[in-house]
């Protein structure tokens, strides 16, 4: 997978993504991440890429041409026309299933806006997907792009040490992850649930599933509506109003 991030702040993006798990995946050649500086494609001698909005109003807009040229410089290096994701609070809310869909692509381009946004005409020309990371407004698209690159990267085979951990985790089957514990067995008077020390794998799996269902019911009942529950689990939930 090759990620291309169009931005006015390339260092911000690369500093964040060159570390930890994504950094290791780059070193292993499992993915590549490049930040393309839109300012390198400025079309005036002052290297400006923003201007006033027609019709008036506060703030500046990013101009169409530098964004277009930056995109073209990426496109000509791709085998297929890449999907171009514009990070915007007006987009569709990012989710795990969207991350799974994007993880199938060979190339992904992220367009990070700044100031009051970007001239609409270039968005119409190049953007294929409008994505928001939540209902709040940030100063630019860099952090959302980093969030998406992180979420998509960890789904690429080989990126996580243990592929099982990408398979069985929060949001799989629309359930939250069960609680987990490591040594010591007792910490400040709090004990690890005995079933986890029993070595009985069937019971451990049963306990984990039950904990996932209870946790989801308590913290994210909206997810539970989409989860596939057994009749027994539905009954437990119906009878545990005071527990949940
Ligand atoms: N740019 C500014 N705020 C944003 C958000 N919430 N999601 C994606 N891009 C953004």
* pLDDT tens digit sequence for 201-232: 999 999 999 999 999 999 999 999 899 999 99
Closest residue by CA, ligand 1 atom 6:
89
Distance from residue 93's CA to the centre of ligand 1 (Å): 10
Question: Higher model confidence: residue 173 or residue 42?
Answer: 42
Which range marks the domain in which residue 205 is found? 168-243
Using the Cα atoms of residue 160, residue 163, residue 164 and residue 166 in order, give the sign of their dihedral. positive
Q: Provide the number of structural domains found in the chain.
A: 2
* pLDDT tens digit sequence for 152-193: 999 999 999 876 555 556 777 899 999 999 999 999 999 999
Looking at the structure, tell me whether residues 12 and 99 fall in a common domain. Answer: yes
Distance from residue 42's CA to the centre of ligand 1 (Å): 24
Looking at the structure, tell me whether residues 44 and 123 fall in a common domain. Answer: yes
Looking at the structure, tell me whether residues 57 and 157 fall in a common domain. Answer: yes
* pLDDT tens digit sequence for 120-148: 999 999 999 999 999 999 999 999 999 99
Identify which of 144, 145, 146 to mutate to test ligand 1's pocket (most ligand atoms within 8 A of the CB): 144
Among 145, 161, 177, identify where a domain stops.
161
- DSSP per residue, 12-47: HHHHHHTSHHHHHHHHTTS-EEEEEEGGGG-SSTT-
Closest residue by CA, ligand 1 atom 5:
89
**The ligand 1 atom nearest the CA atom of 136:** 6
State the DSSP code for 118.
B
């Amino acid at each position: 997978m090759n990620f291309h991030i169009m931005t006015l702040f390339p260092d911000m993006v690369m500093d964040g993504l060159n570390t930890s798990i994504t950094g290791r995946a780059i070193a292993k050649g499992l993915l590549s991440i490049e930040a393309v500086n839109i300012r390198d494609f400025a079309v005036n001698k002052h290297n400006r890429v923003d201007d006033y909005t027609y019709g008036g109003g506060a703030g500046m807009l990013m101009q169409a041409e530098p964004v277009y040229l930056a995109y073209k410089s990426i496109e000509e290096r791709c085998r297929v026309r890449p999907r171009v994701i514009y990070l915007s609070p007006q987009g569709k809310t990012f989710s795990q299933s969207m991350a799974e869909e994007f993880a199938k692509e060979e190339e992904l381009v992220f367009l990070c806006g700044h100031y009051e946004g970007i001239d609409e005409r270039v968005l119409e020309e190049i953007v294929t997907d409008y994505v928001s990371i939540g209902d709040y407004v940030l100063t630019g698209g860099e952090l959302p792009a980093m969030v998406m690159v992180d979420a998509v990267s960890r789904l690429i085979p080989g990126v996580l040490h243990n592929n099982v951990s990408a398979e069985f985790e929060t949001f799989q089957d629309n359930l939250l992850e069960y609680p987990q514990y490591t040594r010591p067995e007792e910490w400040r008077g709090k004990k690890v649930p005995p079933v986890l020390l029993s070595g009985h794998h069937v019971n451990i799996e049963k306990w984990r599933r039950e904990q996932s269902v209870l946790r989801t019911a308590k913290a994210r009942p909206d997810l539970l509506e989409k989860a596939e529950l057994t009749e027994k689990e539905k009954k437990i939930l119906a009878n545990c109003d005071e527990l949940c």
